[in-house]
Structure 1
Amino acid sequence: MRFKRPTKIDHGLTVIDLVPFINIIFLVLTFLLLLSSFSFQSGMTIKLPKTITSDVIKDENLIIIVNSEDIISFNGKVLTVKELQVELSKYTLSTHSILIKADRRASLGRLVDVWDLCRGLNIEKINIATD
């Protein structure tokens, strides 16, 4: 005896299960929220050299950062020495002083390059930050 199998009627509509889709959306949203809480700061991490005697500078400073890998940063941008010269030439340097924040592991050669660049632009107030 053969039984008739019920025939499927296709109405042309596909049913999409939304639960997995919503789960993925929530996972992506959670990932983005967590990622935004770990946002990176625009500056570089440096360890300043320690000194016994130092003075507090109260002038308006332009800050140049040289990290331990001799990478130069100015106004949140990584620059070469030539690019730093172009950036510094945009300022009225007679009213500003330069503060060089060099990591204690930065090479003396890179520090001297930045110092000479500032002296070449006739900047008279050049300081090195210490702890």
Structure 2
Amino acid sequence: MKLIDENEKEISEINMTPFVDIILVILIIFMATATFIVEKKIPLNLPEAKTGEDIQNKPNQLIVSITKSGIFVNNEKVDLKKLKDVLGKKVKSKKDNIIVLRADKDIKFQKVVDVIDICRELGLEKYIVETKREI
């Protein structure tokens, strides 16, 4: 009794075409549904520090950049007088929010103090001062 007919061939290779088709369809679906985030950057000349830690981006962080040209909250230009209103709207829960201060090294420190005062008025007490690592 023969198990294999003489006319039938034994399968010696796996047909990869259906597998490749499925992978390509999954890739196309992934690319179509993925969100691409493009961050705008504000040119800053940050002060340098020998010590420091890498900052991990967290959803509860508000990035406040202070430059000669103005104050930016998450890359949106804000007037100092309107900063309290803007930060108040962006704050979700006052306990968990962290303010990341990026201040240009050529600005007056009074601007940084003004921003910290506004944050404290809103009940924001956690700050990170961002610097460049000295190499």
- TM-score with structure 1 length normalisation? 0.61
Alignment-derived partner of residue 65 in structure 2? 65
Cα displacement string for residues 52-104 of structure 1 (whole angstroms, at most 9, x for unaligned residues) = 1112343621100111x151011322111221110111112322100011111
C-alpha distance in structure 1 between counterparts of 2:119 and 2:45, whole Å: 22
C-alpha distance in structure 1 between counterparts of 2:75 and 2:54, whole Å: 23
User: Who wins on radius of gyration, i.e. which is larger?
Assistant: 1
C-alpha distance in structure 1 between counterparts of 2:50 and 2:76, whole Å: 31
Counterparts of 1:1-131 in structure 2 under 5 Å?
Answer: 42-58=40-56, 60=58, 61-67=61-67, 69=68, 71-90=70-89, 91-92=91-92, 93-131=94-132
C-alpha distance in structure 2 between counterparts of 1:126 and 1:102, whole Å: 13
Structure 1 portions without partners, runs of 5+: 1-40
Compare the two structures and name the one with the higher strand fraction: 2
C-alpha distance in structure 1 between counterparts of 2:79 and 2:95, whole Å: 23
Aligned length: 90
Q: Alignment partner of 1:43: what SS?
A: coil
Cα displacement string for residues 7-57 of structure 1 (whole angstroms, at most 9, x for unaligned residues) = xxxxxxxxxxxxxxxxxxxxxxxxxxxxxxxxxx74320011001111234
CA RMSD of aligned residues (A): 1.8
Q: Alignment partner of 2:110: what SS?
A: helix
Q: Alignment identity in percent?
A: 28
- Conserved in 2, the CA contact under 8 Å of 1:70 and 1:107? no
Offset of 1:107 from its aligned partner? Answer: 1.0
Structure 2 portions without partners, runs of 5+: 1-38
C-alpha distance in structure 2 between counterparts of 1:78 and 1:59, whole Å: 20
Q: Alignment partner of 2:128: what SS?
A: strand
* Structure 1 ranges of 4+ moved more than 6 A: none
The 1:96/1:63 distance shift into structure 2, 3 A limit, reads same
